[in-house]
Amino acid sequence: MRIALAQLDLVIGDVEGNVTRMLEAAADATAKGAEVVLFPELATTGYPPRDLLNLSWFVRDADAALSRFVRELPDGLVAIFGAPRRREGGRGGRALTNSAVVAARGRVLLEVPKALLPTYDVFDERRYFEPAPLDVPRVVSIAGRRVGVTVCEDMWNDRLLWADDRLYDRDPVAECLEQGAEVVVNVSASPYSKGKSQTRRRLVSHAATRWRVPLAYVNAVGGQDGLLFDGGSLVVAADGALVTELPVFEERVAVVDLSERAEEPAVDELDRLGRALVMGTRDYARKTNMPRFCLGLSGGIDSALALVLGALALGPDAAVTFGLPSRYSSEHSIADARALADALGVRFEVVSIDPAHRAYEQMLEPVLATAPAAAGDVTWENVQARARGAALMAWANRTGALLLTTGNKSECAVGYSTLYGDSCGGLAVIADLFKLEVYALARHLNDRRVGGAIPESTLTKPPSAELRPGQRDDESLPPYEVLDPILRCLIEDELGVDETARRTAADEALVRGIAVKVLRAEYKRRQFAPTLRVSNRSWTGRDFPIAMRARP
């Protein structure tokens, strides 16, 4: 059997445009000799469409686009693709399924609703969909082979692989085999996170070898708000050997024969991380019609990495950067910022915030009853950050540029940022990277992608917001070598204070204080720009209350 994997970057809500892209891919697959072509989960609508599915007109448009796709399919080709489908009845009057549709030109051969509907982390599919009934037909004959059909999460519940962590009582892959499947396919929209591609490959290989059937898996690619889809579609033979694996973070239509074999590709996770963020920045800008971007370039590591990612995504000509010095800014900060901008070929403007800073002091000193020069007064420090934010937003408003926010995950976690100041922006490009990850990725991209454009002093200077004379981050926070492992335990592993202290060998009182900061900063994170998600526990998907009295 010759199977085409159509790994496409589709746009949420653009049902006509998506179907046009799918028909082009189907024609390409036919020209390459495919008998069946696989498209991602909810391909017609893009994934995840969220509350668009509550709009009756949107569902009608999606139905009409699906009908057009089936009507215009090339002769001799079977397509398996994801789409929302109506069904009779349903709880609470809801009558939609997240289905894989099997179609040939002019007719639908089978519809297989998704059985396992995730409701954790970034997923909330039970909000919109009904699960497949137990007796749903899953197998269809294509080119003389009996093909079993599953949708994304349907493959993630094998009782042998997830013995201690099964979330559901049924296994749709096993149901395919019970109905006589000789080949199993999975149409998916599985978001990227660090290390997830190896998990997926292990999952697909395990299913193939356990059931002794070839397995074809197609995944979405592209950025959808903060979710990043990496593709990496693959086909595995019945003995677990890799038949093919498509490149990550690239659109591709590839045709494979189940008798082929391929070598296991090498995985460089740091390279994939950089490519994920570049793709996410590019797609967010493209899909929101903001092809230009701007940011405040401080000479520090965070804004340097954000600029490199933006320039790689949209090109240096699309960028305008600003040095926004106050009376406390060091000369080397502006020098480092200018050096990076010049090396990348990016426009750099210096706009002093000192006039605005002094005007705010003169205006507010009588009512705040605090001398502006009071050391360590966070209020006056925040005034500077907000003056910078106002300047950057003015440029973004005037030009329609996308303002990139430069805060990292370590700062976001403990609230080490200023609302309406350095948190201003339309996209938080590195807010899911801990500070040490920022350094690692910056060095990687500096060496591999931008020819050493980031000055060495930016990579080695002590981190500082420069909001008062001689300020350093480690005066307010533990060193990042101490802080980041604690935050990883508290946030990504969701451990308690005592277990975090044991795992990191940190003082329990220190850990408790950090845990309190994380909880108290929730109100700030609620107001952040959309964050590109690259970890298994990003700010996207967290749902903590703001007004509460829980204390670790």
Instruction: Give φ, ψ of 488 to 5 degrees.
Output: -60, -45
Cβ-contact 97, 72 below 8 angstroms: no
Element (H, E) at 84: strand 78-86
- Does 409 qualify as catalytic in the annotation? no
Where are the alpha helices (H) located in 346-470, listed in sequence order? 354-368, 378-399, 409-414, 435-448, 456-460
Q: Specify the DSSP element, H or E, that contains 82.
A: strand 78-86
Catalytic residue among 152, 176, 294, 489: 152
Of the candidates 35, 41, 111, 466, the residue annotated as catalytic is: 41
The residue from 35, 111, 114, 409 that is catalytic is 114
Strands of 172-270 (E only): list them: 183-188, 215-219, 221-224, 227-230, 234-236, 242-245, 252-257
Distances (CA, A) of 477 to 91, 414, 464, 480: 50, 9, 11, 8
461 is catalytic: no
Do the Cβ atoms of 301 and 309 come closer than 8 Å? no
Buried b vs exposed e over 480-516: b needs ≥16 C-beta within 10 Å?
bebbbbbbbbbbbeebebeebbeebebeeebbbbbbe
Half-sphere exposure of 285 (CA within 13 A, CB side): 28
SS3 261: coil
Rounded to whole angstroms, the Cα distance separating 295 from 529 reads 14
DSSP codes, 15-46: HHHHHHHHHHHHHHHHHTT-SEEE--TTTTT-
Active site residue 114: yes
Which residues are catalytic, by number?
A: 41, 114, 152
